A and B are shown apart, each in its own frame.
Chain A
Amino acid sequence: MSHDLWHEIYHFLTHEARLLDQRRFEEWVELFTDDAFYWAPPRSNRLSKDEAQEVGALGDLAYLEEDKESLRGRVKKLRTGMAWAEEPRSRTRHIIANVEVHPGNSESEVEVSSDFIVYRSRLETDQDFFVGTREDILRKVDGHWKIAKRTIILDHAVLTAKNLSIFL
């Protein structure tokens, strides 16, 4: 794993984070491949003998299970000016860390793990932290990295936020 590749991926993730915090949502969606899969399963409290079931399985109810079209729809919703959950907008800060890059299934793909703390402030004093990890598959398309698959594993069993109206 070359330093250059790691830096390339790290730059991609920090740029992605900044796009979101700057509310450049249309540009953010275009960071995804056309066949992208974006999934955030729920998490439960399980005894350690049942640890394998702690994170929701694919096919269970999840917070998010999106494709590029539905992500575009969510961005379109935000731009109507009547998406009340984001009117006024949340103020976010995506802190991305602990980035690890591994070879993917093909020459054009890499597997990336990164951890996040996303701070969200809204209205006067509403504050939330969304914390967790992302398992991504990034694919090089026409010389640019894009997100082909993102699995967001939140550390919360119960979200203490009034909604998840921002992108992670």
Chain B
Amino acid sequence: MTLHAKDLVAPEKGQVNRRIYADPDIYHEELERIFARCWIYLGHESQIPNPKDFMTTYMGEEPTILLRDREGQIRALLNMCRHRGNRVCMADRGSTEQFTCSYHGWTYDISGKLISVPGLKEIYFGELETDRSGLVEVAQLDTYKGMIFATWDPQAPPLLEYLGHMTWYLDLLVDRVEGGVEVIGGVHRWVINCNWKLAVDNFIADMYHASTTHISAFMAGFGGGGSRRGYGSLGWTGYQINPARGHGLGTRWCNTDEERLETVSPELAEYERSILPEMERRLGTVRAYRLSPVHGSLFPNLSWLFGTRTFRVWHPRGPEKTEIWAWFIVDKKAPPEVKRAWRLHCMRRFGPAGTWEQDDMDNWIKSSASGRSGIGQRYPVNFQMGLGHERLHEQLPGLVGDLQNEINNRSFYSFWSDLLSGKSWAEIDLKISAP
């Protein structure tokens, strides 16, 4: 089918045809042209600390084994036996010397090499090309400060180029202090009947929804940061920042050090205050004192909240289904009582039982379902907030809009459109141009 992505989205006008949330053909094009081409987040180094450690995940819908081989090198392998296609690893995580397929006993070592085939001489006559039948390995794998990404596309630009200026902001999640971060044990996993892009639409851009969607959580005492004016207030100063095509974040801007300290939850205040001098040494004054970032998202499907430290992938499971995997990522050197307080703060707000997150779900599910509406498809989804009010900022890499602004949604769909149109990487500009 000839897909005219350019007919489905008009990011320069802030309009998107809602059909992209429900159409199975578009979904399959996304699997091919986005999830098989882009850098996809797999896991964090702290989740596979030792040689032979493995965890299973997905790149799009591709079941993938993320592991450390015997030499400690990180690898990512398609979880698919080369004989009939069975999975060779059925567990979520663990430690192993090899993977043996439960069907016919083909065995692979943890670098993916096919090392044993029952009856190789007797029934295959020694004719099986075993050295070409190893587990399929990703085309490229790289890490950014402990975050492991991979791509199936050998033509994809290097990871750092793909991340672009987003790395400057990612440091506020993963590199504030010596030792970086760790992902603690445990993952929230749940399935919603919703297209994956609704979740990204929210996490990449949406400060606007908090004071409506999450109002009951505020009223019941499950507030956000420590500001007296309350999270999501339309009166806050800050920016939506688009640092590279398809990636985005939103941050408060603190004009004074006191304002910066106000953004922190009371139970974390002492720790956050104590690390500010180190943050300033490592990251500079703007990142340490002026920014208090809130939300962020990397194209295609990795999102997080900087303060709460929930960190999640949205696994696509069909045009109208998404499986959410959410972890908690925290400064490794934070004292145990701070980590505990932070973890409780995170868990009581986010996750399927989270007092905030539970109220997001129907919004996204029903908005996603509007993609099936024939009448609805005549009326575009509106991403026009702040259209035309983008500008450069002296101190912040990327293009910025006001704190309530849909610049990042527009950038997401612009990049999405380029990829779906079948353009090669060479034809796609990853950088943001000035307005």
Contacts and interface: CB of A to CB of B under 8 A. Distances in A.
Whether A associates with B in a native complex is yes
Interface of A: 40-42, 44-47, 50, 56-57, 59-66, 70, 73-74, 76-78, 80, 82-85, 123, 157-165
Contact of A62 (B193, B216, B347, B359): B347
A70 B348 contact: yes
Contact of A64 (B90, B193, B353, B361): B353
A162 B193 contact: yes
B430 interface: no
Given A44-B92, A46-B91, A162-B193, A80 B220 contact: yes
Contacts of A85: 358-359, 361-362
B335 interface: no
Interface stretch (B180-188, B299-307, B394-402): B180-188
Most chain A C-beta atoms within 10 Å of own C-beta, residue among B327, B348, B359: B359
Given A61-B326, A62-B186, A160-B190, 18 more contacts: A44-B92, A45-B92, A46-B91, A47-B90, A47-B94, A59-B185, A60-B185, A61-B187, A61-B327, A61-B351, A63-B353, A77-B220, A83-B216, A84-B363, A85-B358, A159-B190, A160-B191, A165-B358
Nearest to A77: B220
Q: Which 10 A-B pairs have the closest CB atoms?
A: A61-B186, A60-B186, A77-B220, A60-B185, A164-B353, A159-B190, A163-B358, A85-B358, A83-B216, A158-B189
A158 B361 CA distance: 16
A82 B343 contact: no
B379 to A, nearest CB: 23
A61 B328 CA distance: 7
Given A61-B184, A77-B220, A163-B358, A46 B190 contact: no
A40 B213 CA distance: 25
A50 B193 contact: no
B352 A77 contact: no
A63 B357 CA distance: 12
14 contacts: A42-B186, A42-B189, A57-B185, A59-B184, A59-B340, A60-B184, A60-B186, A61-B347, A70-B348, A76-B220, A77-B222, A84-B213, A162-B362, A164-B352
Contacts of A63: 188, 347, 351-353
B265 to A, nearest CB: 14
B259 interface: no
Contact of B353 (A47, A82, A157, A165): A165
A70 B357 CA distance: 16
A84 B216 contact: yes
Contacts of B184: 59-61
Nearest to B364: A162
Given A80-B216, A84-B359, A65 B344 contact: yes
Contacts, number: 129
A158 to B, nearest CB: 4
Interface residues of B, number: 44
B367 to A, nearest CB: 13
A124 B387 CA distance: 37
Contact of A65 (B219, B222, B347): B347
Contact of B216 (A56, A77, A162): A77
B189 A76 contact: no
B334 interface: no
B186 to A, nearest CB: 3
A89 to B, nearest CB: 13
Contacts of A46: 91-94
Contacts of A61: 184-188, 326-328, 343, 346-347, 351
Most chain B C-beta atoms within 10 Å of own C-beta, residue among A46, A74, A160, A163: A163
Contacts of A60: 184-186
B161 to A, nearest CB: 33
A62 B344 CA distance: 9
A82 B219 contact: yes
B323 interface: yes
Contacts of A162: 190-193, 352, 361-362, 365
B261 interface: no
B19 to A, nearest CB: 23
A16 B161 CA distance: 57
B199 to A, nearest CB: 12
Contacts of A42: 186-189
A19 to B, nearest CB: 19
